Amino acid sequence: MNVMKRLQPPIHLLKAFTATARFGSVSRASEALHLTQSAVSKQISELEQMTGVLLFERIRQRLTLTPAGVRYEAAIRPLLAQLEAATLDLITSGDGGGALHISTLPTFGAKWLIPRLPDFQKAQPLIALNFVPYLQGYDFQRADLDCSILFGNGNWPGAVADYLTGRDVVLIAPPAVPRKPHLRKAQDVAGFTLLQHVSVPHAWSHWCEAHGVSGVNALMGPQLDQFHSLIRAVMAGMGLALVPHCLVKDDIAAGLVSAPLKDGYMDEMGYYLCYPESRSHLKPLISFRQWLLDAVNKVDGQAPYPDTITGKNP
């Protein structure tokens, strides 16, 4: 076997290897790579034959990396990501266009981002935004993901996080709150069902503490998994909910829900644009980030943000 070929396996073999390592399954790797299972298995076998090293072993019906496979996968994964980034940079360096692969939380995408995207298209007609299916979390090791809009406190290992919006939380009620019980002051929430977001389980506890509300079981109430579901549940008259004001501003204005209590509440959780520093130089990402922060500043009147893409908002 040619020594150079042995030391530089083809990219398609390495991609089959890393995909199978990530999923622990040839079938799931084949779906991600849009190949047949037999093709992925053949490529892994070819890589093992080229290197003369066993990379996987089957334990309890699941493929597991051997110790050598673990070391090899950890070494080549960032190299493949760098190659992908360099190629995309080459493609986009000429005319300022190219593609940006992004994922976003469903409610934020539907209620805030997508209605504003026509403005981005007008400003950057050469950049195509490709939305990657949102997963619970993020995986910037994927070649098809450049950035994500996530909800949290701004700390995600391995990612730069620019705060966008969402800390301004509002209590929403059905459009026609029954006369009894009244909802005129914070303590009155004791007479209502408190709808819960499963990813923000202590929202009502923090709200009650901030408003001096006592005697309320802040953890009791129906649990829903998206802010969109909470908003719809409030519209249906199921109870009260705490949601970021940016998601429900239009619904309040349209009378679909009400915001009976005027005192605001600032939470520590919000929406962030997150991306690995290794991709921060990509021109489509630079353009999208700048437009996104400008849009947030225009709509929400936020404080100035960093000029450099590697900066991090407080």
Q: Could you read off the pLDDT of 209-242 as tens digits, one per residue?
A: 999 999 899 999 999 999 999 999 999 999 999 9
**Alpha carbon distance, N-terminus to C-terminus of the chain:** 56
CA distance 122 to 143: 27
- Pick 181 or 271 by higher pLDDT: 271
- Tell me: pLDDT of 54 over 90: yes
Residue 23 confidence class, pLDDT cut points 50, 70, 90 = confident
What percentage of the chain carries pLDDT values higher than 70?
A: 86
Strand ranges for 40-146 from DSSP E: 56-59, 62-65, 98-104, 127-131
Q: What pLDDT sits at residue 40?
A: 93
CA distance 67 to 47: 16
CA nearest 8: which of 49, 50, 40?
A: 50
Cα 178 to its chain centre, rounded Å, is 37
- Lowest average pLDDT, out of 3-7, 81-85, 188-192, 300-304, goes to 300-304
Alpha-carbon distance values, 237 to 148, 234, 247 (Å): 33, 5, 18
Reported as a single tens digit per residue, the pLDDT across 140-178 is 777 678 899 999 999 988 899 999 999 999 999 998 765
- Lowest average pLDDT, out of 66-75, 101-110, 282-291, 301-310, goes to 301-310
Residue 307 confidence class, pLDDT cut points 50, 70, 90 = very low
What residue type is 125 in one-letter code? Answer: P
Reported as a single tens digit per residue, the pLDDT across 107-140 is 999 999 999 999 999 999 988 888 888 775 677 7
The HSE-up count of residue 57 (CA atoms within 13 Å, CB side) is 8
CA nearest 112: which of 287, 296, 289?
A: 296
Q: What pLDDT sits at residue 91?
A: 64
Strand ranges for the chain from DSSP E: 56-59, 62-65, 98-104, 127-131, 147-152, 160-165, 168-172, 196-197, 223-224, 241-244, 265-266, 270-275
Q: Evaluate whether 197 touches 203 at the Cβ level (below 8 Å).
A: yes
Determine the Cα angle at 161 with ends 83 and 29, to 5°. Answer: 45
CA distance 282 to 131: 17
- Pick 109 or 85 by higher pLDDT: 109
CA distance 303 to 252: 24
Mean per-residue pLDDT over the chain, rounded: 85
Report pTM. Answer: 0.68
**Domains assigned to the chain:** 3-89 (1.10.10.10), 93-166+269-300 (3.40.190.10), 168-266 (3.40.190.10)
- Tell me: pLDDT of 85 over 80: no
Q: What pLDDT sits at residue 248?
A: 94
